[in-house]
Amino acid sequence: MRTFNAALLGGAACFIGTLSVALVAQQPAHIHHAPAQSRMLASPLDLAESDLDAGKRAFASRCSSCHGADGKGGKPAKPGGAPASDLTRADLRTHADGELFWVITNGIGDSGMPAFAPRLSDVERWQLVAHLRTLGGVKLDVRTGTDAGPRYVWDLPPGFPRPRVPADNPMTVEKIELGRYLFYDTRMSINQTTSCATCHRQELAFTDGKARAVGATEQIHPRSSMGLANIAYSPVLTWANPTQRKLETQALVPMFGEDPVEMGLSGMESYLLARLAMVPEYQKLFAAAYPGQENPFSLANITRAIASFERSLLSGRSPYDRYRTSADQSAISESARRGESLFFDERTECFHCHGGFNFTETVDYVGKGFVEVEFHNTGLYNLGAAGAYPAPNTGVHAVSDDEEDMGRFKAPSLRNIAVTAPYMHDGSIVTIEDAIAHYEAGGRTIASGPNKGVGANNPHKSSFVKGFTLTPQERADLKAFLESLTDRDFITDERFADPWPSHQRGQ
Ligand code: HEC
Ligand code: HEC
Ligand code: HEC
């Protein structure tokens, strides 16, 4: 059997250090040659014009002999063999960057597609991936000279790509610090009771432990609070709103939303600004974050700072990450390792929606050619046997009014899942065991009451939630794997903690 660990490892920039042999044998899914775990790999490049040029040159010298100068494919590499693929095909877009990287790194068996490691370095192979994207007609975001100036140094966990940051809100240490004070400040609510952190608690990976969130006026939110770990990589925000795409704008919803009320600041904008301007800490923090502005106390500056703080919330140092990125094979238990195989198996299909370095397919980052935004119906409900979900939680349907979108929600990252119970958009699943049981049954059955229905028969359900059977041992293994994703450093990191001395907050 071929083991690809050495070849894939290539250099320290790679996320997957070693992969157990058992996993190599498994049938790959998205691209016919690369294993599912290759989707975990993300480009470490902060893509510049020079990377695209280098990729183009490497393609001309290394690839065009078989794939043609324009990448449109060519002759068989050997008599009777497969012709070199058309690399401009539309469906290649749906292949993750990591899968293309894997194919270039390892080649494809005896098809004639050669392995390019170690002939080409990691960086060169990633530059080729970027070039393949442009061949496919994708317009990549490239860093230009205007980004010059002092650069924020990300403390990226091993193997993590660089988050994309809006051009009008570059990361700075000063903005992050201001954002942290605001995030933890109950002055940010109508009655000084509620801050962002009320519903997003660090020790719970920035969720709140409740089935449904409770706002400043005790109004119960229809949905469950969401974790904020690695939110910098999420191209779409909240459970099921395809139009909510920027942290800067999203923050306005809890602050000013009226249905439901979260912080209840509607109509109090100038009062809020005046209030903050009186606080000595903020006089210093706003001035430092927005130097040269005559009056830095503005709503836009508040949301920029909060968004910067949120983007700094990176989590990728769980036992599972240590197991993956270092030689520490004992970082996770034998049971968790078996659970990993199950998670990445076609039988459970978990990785289809929760794959990739952030354990969700819905990710974006610098240099990513194909921004993935997906929403799925997992068969949690089936009201009236017509596929409906209980209002107002009808998923993307609530925004699009399209029947097809009924019950479709964002697959959340499963990082830190052991501390973010209860689960699902409405907190209706209490334990990890019950979440696994839901997928085993291919959808949840509710026997009686207003939400009665057989979720497995929901006509809008994703075909990846097809049901399967696990032995008790396998169930325990899958759970052990999910528990290995808890990043203790993240939930105790001082940089993300409440900065206020308790007597000063919200006064
Ligand atoms: C000696 C000929 C040859 C060279 C050189 C070559 N390839 Fe290939 N490549 C092939 C063949 C043949 C296939 C199809 C294999 C199959 O489908 O079984 C292929 C398939 C691929 C695929 C998979 C596409 C798909 O449809 O899934 C990618 C990606 C790829 N090549 C990229 C490259 C890149 C990038 C280079 C240069 C670094 C390169 N190839 C150089 C022959 C070649
Ligand atoms: C009353 C509790 C509550 C408060 C206060 C609150 N949130 Fe949330 N947060 C939620 C809930 C509930 C959701 C899911 C909303 C939905 O799907 O409609 C959410 C979702 C989010 C998301 C999307 C996460 C993702 O994975 O897509 C972000 C980002 C966020 N909140 C940031 C903030 C910020 C910043 C503040 C303070 C300005 C804040 N929240 C205040 C309850 C709260
Ligand atoms: C078709 C895509 C898909 C597949 C396959 C899938 N999930 Fe999910 N997962 C989702 C979506 C979407 C949600 C949110 C659903 C909702 O709230 O209605 C979710 C939610 C979850 C949650 C709760 C997360 C939270 O923060 O509340 C867990 C745990 C989970 N999935 C585990 C798994 C496991 C384990 C597997 C494999 C057995 C799996 N998922 C397979 C899409 C998927």
pLDDT in tens, 108-119: 988 889 999 888
Could you tell which of 199, 239, 272, 424 is best to mutate to test the pocket of ligand 2, judged by most ligand atoms within 8 Å of the CB? 199
pLDDT at residue 152 is higher than 90:
no
Tell me the C-alpha distance between 409 and 397, whole Å: 9
pLDDT value, residue 151: 66
Dihedral-angle region of residue 374 (phi above 0 means left; psi in -120 to 50 means alpha; beta otherwise): beta
Q: Is the pLDDT of residue 463 over 50?
A: yes
pLDDT digits (tens, 9 = 90+) for 11-34: 323 333 233 222 222 333 346 678
Q: Does position 76 have pLDDT exceeding 60, yes or no? A: yes
In a mutational test of the pocket of ligand 1, which residue from 78, 85, 99, 125 has the highest number of ligand atoms less than 8 Å from its CB?
85
Q: Is the CB of 354 under 6 A from ligand 3?
A: yes
Is residue 240 over pLDDT 50? yes
Residue 504, pLDDT score = 63
Is residue 333 scored above 80 in pLDDT?
Answer: yes
- Mean pLDDT, residues 192-200 taken together: 97
pLDDT tops 50 at residue 435: yes
Q: How far is CA 475 from CA 135, 166, 345, 411, 431, in A?
A: 44, 42, 14, 21, 13
- Assign 337 a pLDDT band (cuts: 50, 70, 90): very high
* CA 262 to ligand 2: nearest atom: 1
Q: List residues near ligand 2 (CB under 6 A).
A: 194, 196, 198-200, 213-215, 221, 223-226, 228, 231, 234, 237-239, 247, 250-251, 254-255, 262-263, 306, 310
135 vs 467, which has greater pLDDT? 467
Cα of 56 vs its chain's centroid, Å:
29
Residue 351 near ligand 3, beta carbon < 6 Å: no
CA pair distance 341, 68, nearest whole angstrom: 38
Beta carbons of 262 and 451 less than 8 angstroms apart:
no
Distance between Cα 193 and ligand 3 center (Å) = 32
pLDDT digits (tens, 9 = 90+) for 281-299: 999 999 999 999 999 999 9
Which residue is listed with tokens 């050495």?
A: 6
Confidence (pLDDT) at 94: 76
pLDDT band at residue 505 using 50, 70 and 90 as cut-offs: low
Buried/exposed code over 168-193 (b: 16+ C-beta within 10 A; e: otherwise): ebebbebbbbbbbbbbbbbbbbbeee
- For the chain, what is the radius of gyration of the CA atoms? 24
Question: Which amino acid is residue 494, in one-letter code?
Answer: E
- The closest-lying atom of ligand 2 relative to the alpha carbon of residue 216 is 1
What integer is the mean pLDDT of 231-256? 96
Q: Supply 386's token pair.
A: 């017509």
In the chain, the largest separation of any two C-alpha atoms, in whole Å, equals: 79
